[in-house]
Chain A
Amino acid sequence: MECVFGLVGNGFAIVVADTSAVHSILVHKSNEDKIMLLDSHKLIAASGEPGDRVQFTEYIQKNVALYHFRNGIPLTTAAAANFTRGELATALRKNPYFVNVLLAGYDKETGPSLYYIDYIATMHKVDKGAFGYGSYFSLAMMDRHYHSGMTVEEAIDLVDKCIMEIRSRLVVAPPNFVIKIVDKEGARQYAWRESVKDAPVPAA
């Protein structure tokens, strides 16, 4: 029941992910961060098979870093998204990764962008997107309230509306969510939305 969704606003992109790590009927933890910083101006929010999720996003992150070291310039969001899609596509008919990804980034020349990439390497550049059972609710809310050029306040308001819907209407709804934002200042964590608090676990 993983929920990941995101949208593009005026000069920024926001991605939201639930933070439960679940194994069958057991919740391991409720503060698992599923949104990774790809580089200073890119975020990758992933959902799917837990081992694949970490393995794949770290692989992409390290390749993005390697490109930067080799060539002295960062990849654009579009190039990173196409690279990610290519890796999923190449692995698909051998050893597929069961990971869905929302890749958000900010480029100086082209502004904010959001890419929807699913586990069978479908890619779309979108203004709003979502994965998981939560998508039934978050996409509906975003379809109703989204307009292009939203401010951060308006976007966070919409995000909260989506989280409210998921919490109230999804049968095994995840209790906690993390919100991250990327704009010209860079990619960073914006806020948590917690309804159940875990004891803080030191990072590995």
Chain B
Amino acid sequence: MSRRYDSRTTIFSPEGRLYQVEYAMEAIGNAGSAIGILSKDGVVLVGEKKVTSKLLQTSSSTEKMYKIDDHVACAVAGIMSDANILINTARVQAQRYTYAYQEPMPVEQLVQSLCDTKQGYTQFGGLRPFGVSFLFAGWDKNFGFQLYMSDPSGNYGGWKAGAIGANNQAAQSILKQDYKDDITREEAVQLALKVLSKTMDSTSLTSEKLELAEVFLSPSGKVKYEVCSPDALNKLLVKFGVTQPATDTA
């Protein structure tokens, strides 16, 4: 029945659905998960890496986390090549704003601008939607620390905690139970790692399979975005009792 309404993004089905947008979200449901948690003194992003190999050059590239501007970063879930295009678009939009106003772009405006781009692909042009969901983490002087989630439809929302990618519903429900409003950044890291360890399929949790990034204010008041090093991440995993002994694979 829906076969007739699948192939073009720009038509509704008789039931009022946009199948291409939904299929894009399906694609993301198979991708590595990411979790974001908003705390009093920062935003925490944790991602599950699907590409793990000793041969991967981990020092220079990240798979899940990207810096958009000095005060905004994002975690991605979905088709990586699509994500790269959108990340570049977001970076250009942020710089264009700063060029016009000589101030950092407010986080929500950046998210909204990117989502307006994504919406265009669901309404005209005949091109498929982007198969990416984002978790945006940032700070601005109007609303402090913020976390936003967006999906291929171009919808976005501000969240205290959110999950995208594989098993995101399970992760979201655990977050709902365990999140408290006055959580600190360290507690947020612990919660994020705990939730990810429960929802990830893999048998052992090591720093190879994870990426952790935090957005916070340095003592001088500048916004900092830091990706946790693998050694520090390993220590955290042990400290929070979340790592399981890794079975040696050939």
Give the interface of A toward B (CB within 8 A). Answer: 71, 73, 75-76, 78-79, 82-83, 86, 109
Give the interface of B toward A (CB within 8 A). Answer: 99-103, 106, 108-109, 141-142
Instruction: Quote the shortest CB–CB distance from A38 to chain B (angstroms).
Output: 14
Once the chains bind, are B106 and A82 in contact (CB under 8 Å)? no
What residues of chain A lie closer than 8 Å to B99, measured between beta carbons? Answer: 86
What residues of chain B lie closer than 8 Å to A79, measured between beta carbons? Answer: 101-103
Once the chains bind, are A83 and B142 in contact (CB under 8 Å)? no
Can you show 6 pairs from A to B with CB atoms below 8 A apart?
A76-B103, A78-B101, A79-B103, A82-B101, A83-B101, A109-B141
Once the chains bind, are A71 and B103 in contact (CB under 8 Å)? no
Instruction: Quote the shortest CB–CB distance from A110 to chain B (angstroms).
Output: 11
What residues of chain B lie closer than 8 Å to A83, measured between beta carbons? Answer: 100-101
Once the chains bind, are B102 and A78 in contact (CB under 8 Å)? yes
Instruction: Quote the shortest CB–CB distance from B142 to chain A (angstroms).
Output: 5
Cα of A46 to Cα of B100 in the assembled complex, Å: 21
The 8 tightest CB contacts between A and B, nearest first, are A79-B101, A82-B102, A79-B103, A86-B100, A82-B101, A73-B142, A83-B100, A71-B109
A-B contact number at CB 8 A: 22
Instruction: Quote the shortest CB–CB distance from B41 to chain A (angstroms).
Output: 20
Cα of A82 to Cα of B101 in the assembled complex, Å: 5
Cα of A181 to Cα of B100 in the assembled complex, Å: 27
Cα of A73 to Cα of B101 in the assembled complex, Å: 14
Once the chains bind, are B101 and A75 in contact (CB under 8 Å)? yes
Give the residue of B100, B108, B109 whose beta carbon is less than 8 angstroms from that of A82. Answer: B100
Cα of A109 to Cα of B103 in the assembled complex, Å: 14
What residues of chain B lie closer than 8 Å to A109, measured between beta carbons? Answer: 141
Instruction: Quote the shortest CB–CB distance from B98 to chain A (angstroms).
Output: 9
Once the chains bind, are A73 and B106 in contact (CB under 8 Å)? yes
Cα of A76 to Cα of B103 in the assembled complex, Å: 9
Besides A79-B101, A86-B100, 19 more A-B contacts (Cβ < 8 Å) are: A71-B106, A71-B109, A73-B106, A73-B142, A75-B101, A76-B103, A78-B101, A78-B102, A78-B103, A79-B102, A79-B103, A82-B100, A82-B101, A82-B102, A82-B103, A83-B100, A83-B101, A86-B99, A109-B141
What residues of chain A lie closer than 8 Å to B103, measured between beta carbons? Answer: 76, 78-79, 82
Cα of A73 to Cα of B99 in the assembled complex, Å: 19
What residues of chain B lie closer than 8 Å to A71, measured between beta carbons? Answer: 106, 108-109
Cα of A71 to Cα of B141 in the assembled complex, Å: 14
Cα of A103 to Cα of B103 in the assembled complex, Å: 17
Instruction: Quote the shortest CB–CB distance from A116 to chain B (angstroms).
Output: 16
What residues of chain A lie closer than 8 Å to B142, measured between beta carbons? Answer: 73
Closest to B97 in A: A79
Closest to B142 in A: A73
Cα of A75 to Cα of B115 in the assembled complex, Å: 22
What residues of chain A lie closer than 8 Å to B101, measured between beta carbons? Answer: 75, 78-79, 82-83
What residues of chain A lie closer than 8 Å to B106, measured between beta carbons? Answer: 71, 73
Instruction: Quote the shortest CB–CB distance from B39 to chain A (angstroms).
Output: 23
Cα of A78 to Cα of B103 in the assembled complex, Å: 8
Cα of A32 to Cα of B103 in the assembled complex, Å: 34
Residue of B100, B141, B142 ringed by the most chain A CB atoms within 10 A: B100
Instruction: Quote the shortest CB–CB distance from B100 to chain A (angstroms).
Output: 5
